[in-house]
Structure 1
Amino acid sequence: MTGGTAPVITGLGVVAPNGVGAEAYWAATLRGVSGIGVLTRFDPSGYSSRIAGQADIDAKALLPGRLLPQTDHMTRLALIAAEEALADAGVTPGSAPAYSTGVVTAGSGGGFEFGQRELEALWSKGSAYVSAYQAFAWFYPVNSGQISIRHDMRGPGSALVAEQAGGLDAVAKARRLIRQGTDTMLCGGVDGSLCPWSWLCHLRSGRVSAATDPAAAYLPFDERASGHVPGEGGALLVAEDPGAARKRGADRVYGAVAGYSATFDPRAGSGRPSGLRRAVEQALADARTRADEVDVVFADAAGLPAQDQAEAETLAGVFGAKAVPVTAPKTMTGRLLGGGAALDLATAALALRDGVIPPTVHIGQFGYPDLLDLVGDTPRELPLRTALVLARGFGGFNSALVLRAAV
């Protein structure tokens, strides 16, 4: 869809392995602080991979007690991010016109940790010991449901599943709903589950690094790349119709969702090219933006040699070799499933606000010096107006989103 309303981002909520809260996360990211480490949520000694990005919180201090028995750790993170995003935007959905605010989130497998606990109770004690909340706490749309209930958001609600690409797809869905008349949408993704059941699912993908050193486990675009590190967390963003934001006197605008595209890769072995380049070109066309107008690219950064090379060649093909700065701050958090691209988008919004590109840490043997201008361990200060965020999901999903700074 080309043209039409470009929704504005007026609020950010972040929960990440290296910082809870948008400003805490941003400060840690600019300092190059990593939240990746050895798993402590359970004993990982019997597994081939033991490194993850954990987002630990004091849920009892941050959430009402009544919510704790009915929520997985993932959903608690989402509720915290939602509260921050709405407060940051100055939006109180319960006092807004009915049906004018909605929620769309990205997820993957839902609350695995909650589900595993209840299945263990079933097997060891019997059905009488299984929580009634198991009916929904494990389900991937649960974050949308719990957020909408807590904040009285009665407008459109949905959930999308596209693994790492889902966070951008959720924002694009929100854009579509705003163009159709909804004033305000809370959108993005908070995802991830670190328990034995979900960890086994991660490992079966064959894409998780087996490195034992947290600083060497996730090295996208590095000659030593051997897979990625899973993590948990993400970001939720308040997107608004620009007219509605002006009318209510929004305090700030981080940027506008100017363009978006999603494509799907062909069947493996077909000999047909990936759809990533097509997603990039279509997103730029949707934003009516030339390649030379993009100031920074937030890369998907798979951490696998073949995928890293394909992304590097795509970016060089679209923008020219080393023509645009590229960054992957997710080297400090790991890949967060449905929350990863949403966190990149929130990071891009903060980068546009402050005129600084965040670093890509731990890349010591850069493998694509002729193709990419990769921002390394040191942040790079530049005037920034337009950012491109890329995401690829396991199974062939490609998404690209153009974020333009507020005028």
Structure 2
Amino acid sequence: MTRVVITGIGVIAPSGIGADQHWKSILAGELNVRRISAFDPTPYTTTIAGQVDGFDVTDQVDPRLVVQTDRWTWMSLAATQLALDDARYNPADHSPYATSVALAAGSGGNEFGQREMTGLYSKGPRAVGAYQSIAWFYAASTGQSSIRHGTKGPASVLVTEGAGGLDSLGHARRVVRRGTTAVIGGGTEAPLSPYALTCYGSSGRLTTSDDPRAGYKPFDKQANGYAPGEGGAVLLVEDLRTAVKRGSPQIYGEIAGYAATHDAYDPNAPAPDATHMARAMNLAIADAGLTAEDIDLVIADGAGVAELDALEASALRRVFGDRIGSVPVTAPQGFVGRLNAGGSALSVATALLAIREGVAPAVGNLDQPNPAYGLDLVRVPRELDLDVVLINARGFGGFNSSMVLRKVTAADLEDVAEEAIS
């Protein structure tokens, strides 16, 4: 079976621009959730969010393209370039069919769409530009990235709300195994517009706290909902043999296992048990050819909603049994907000950096761990030998996804190099 690895990481997130800035911020425990500044959030039930500072689109995207696209696509284009630069991979150096794009999306071009709809209702149909038809579309980032880099491999968009980042990378692994040697995967979001905030607020899962410290608190006794956020991560996924042969500067880790399930219970409410979330974890671990005993760290979905946190803790207890109290569990997304599809992609980037550095980052904004969960929650960064990391993500409506990342050792690389020579 083709081994599939990640060789490039591009991060555009509230924690920083670039993987190194993100990692330093997460390790330092910086809370990057604050009052929304793009517009006056006073009339809304949620007024805080994770926002990306220092992102200058003119440094990242051709001005001619800026006017045609939304902020979430700008972030995807920028993160894609960071990932390609990190991997030293230029799609133009390869056959156009050797590279694919498979990004996730949750809500599309919110800011662009709101601006155009405002023009429609205030000035009439002539105020709506031609680009409205493509800028809001959930496949816009996939399409624009493919066009920008001239890729002609299979292009896809995965739409499973917060689980989308994992699902896009799981799909990327499938595409590589079918013969496309490199896939641009992951995703970003930009849901901080009045209309988008209204839509998200209707779920009843957003925090109503005006104080960031009292807001999004995964697995905390005071959990009261999550703060939304913008940004995410894009990663370059490759066939291990091809990556070694072309001399990739680093291989962060292998996508060893992946699985997705669905509650099939209710479009708005989670299933009252954790059966299918636990099933996703067990299937992903089995897909990696491992057992629960092999997992060194869990990066949880960490919804910050008491009901959802309790369900995830229940699922983890089902998977790990008596070992649950000794398996480190973290949810660094409490530091940046819940970034929808971009959040689970960012969790993968965080997991890969944790494997590289041998450090498990802390749960974001955790003050009073809920003892009822029985979890070994990481309170401060913890040095660990991280060979295998399990990542969970859930999407509104019943989506559950899990991914197992495994360290690629020097012996693995030697075996691949010898195989290439023979």
* Kept after mapping to 1: 8 A contact 2:274/2:312: no
Shift of 1:370: 6.1
Assess if the C-alpha contact under 8 Å between 1:192 and 1:337 holds in 2.
no
Q: How does 1:59-78 map to 2 (within 5 A)?
A: 59-78=57-76
Query: Deviations along 1:260-314, whole A, 9 cap, x unmatched?
Result: 1100013149866541000000000000111111110000011111211111122
Q: Does 1:86 align with 2:84?
A: yes
- How many residues align structurally? 403
| CA positional deviation for 1:324 | 0.8
Equivalent position SS for 1:321: helix
Where in structure 2 are there 5+ consecutive unaligned residues?
A: 410-422
**Contact 1:207–1:228 (8 Å) recurs in 2:** yes
Q: CA contact under 8 A between 1:313 and 1:371: conserved in structure 2? A: no
Instruction: Report matched runs for 1:101-250 at 5 Å.
Output: 101-250=99-248
Deviations 1:14-58 (A, max 9, x none): 011121111111111110112100001111011111011112411
**1:351 equivalent among 350, 354, 370:** 354
1:17–1:55 CA contact under 8 A, matched in 2: yes
Aligned-partner Cα distance in 2 for 1:39–1:341: 22
Decide which of 14, 17, 20 is 2:11's aligned counterpart.
14
State the shift of 1:95 in Å: 1.7
Where 2:224 maps in the other structure, the secondary structure is: coil
- Counterpart of 2:419 in structure 1 is none
Cα distance in structure 1, aligned partners of 2:195 and 2:275 = 31
Judge conservation of contact 1:93–1:152 (CA < 8 Å) in 2.
Answer: yes
2:360 aligned with 1:362 = no
What is the aligned-residue identity percentage? Answer: 46
Whether 2:374 is the aligned partner of 1:383: answer: no
Amino acid at match of 1:382: L
1:295 maps to what in 2? 296
> Which amino acid is 2:327 matched to?
V
SS of the counterpart of 1:154? coil
More helix by share: 2
Q: Who is 1:403 aligned against?
A: 405
Taking the aligned partners of 1:103 and 1:12, their CA distance within structure 2 comes to: 14
* More displaced 10-residue stretch of structure 1: 72-81 or 118-127: 118-127
* Residues 334-343 or 266-275, more deviating: 266-275
1:275 is paired with a residue of what secondary structure? helix
Mapped contact 1:266–1:274 kept (Cα < 8 A): no
Task: Return the alpha-carbon distance in structure 2 between the equivalents of residues 45 and 204 of structure 1.
Answer: 16
4+ residue runs over 4 A deviation: 268-273
Partners of 1:328 and 1:335 in 2: CA distance: 11
Deviation at 1:192, TM superposition (A): 2.9
CA distance in structure 2 between the aligned counterparts of 1:368 and 1:152, rounded to whole angstroms:
52
Change (3 A) 1:91 1:323: same
- Aligned 8 A contact 2:3 2:254 in 1: yes
Q: By how many angstroms is 1:361 displaced?
A: 3.0
Secondary structure in 2 matching 1:315: helix
Partners of 2:274 and 2:264 lie apart in 1 by: 7
Aligned equivalents of 1:97, 1:336: Cα separation in 2: 33
Once superposed, what is the RMSD of the aligned Cα atoms? 1.3
Per-residue CA deviation, residues 133-164 of structure 1 (Å, 9 max, x unaligned), is: 11100011111011111111111101011011
The separation in 2 between residues aligned to 1:402 and 1:346, in whole angstroms, is 13
Partner of 2:416: none
Query: One-letter code of the match for 1:212?
Result: D
Residue by residue over 1:78-132, the C-alpha shift from the partner in whole angstroms, topping out at 9 and shown as x without a partner, is: 1110000001011110120130100001101200100000111122222222221
Q: What TM-score do the two structures reach when normalised by structure 2?
A: 0.93
Distance in 1 between residues matched to 2:284 and 2:243, nearest whole Å: 24
| Aligned pair partner of 2:253 in 249, 252, 255 | 255
Which residue type is aligned with residue 213 of structure 1?
A: D
Partner residue in 1 for 2:25: 28
What residue in structure 2 maps to residue 53 of structure 1?
Answer: 50
Matched to 2:4, the amino acid is P
Deviations 1:208-262 (A, max 9, x none): 0101110110111111111111111111110001111122111110000000110
By how many angstroms is 1:368 displaced?
Answer: 2.8
- Classify 1:117/1:370 alpha carbon distance in 2 versus 1 (closer, same or farther; 3 Å): closer
The residue aligned with 1:327 is 330
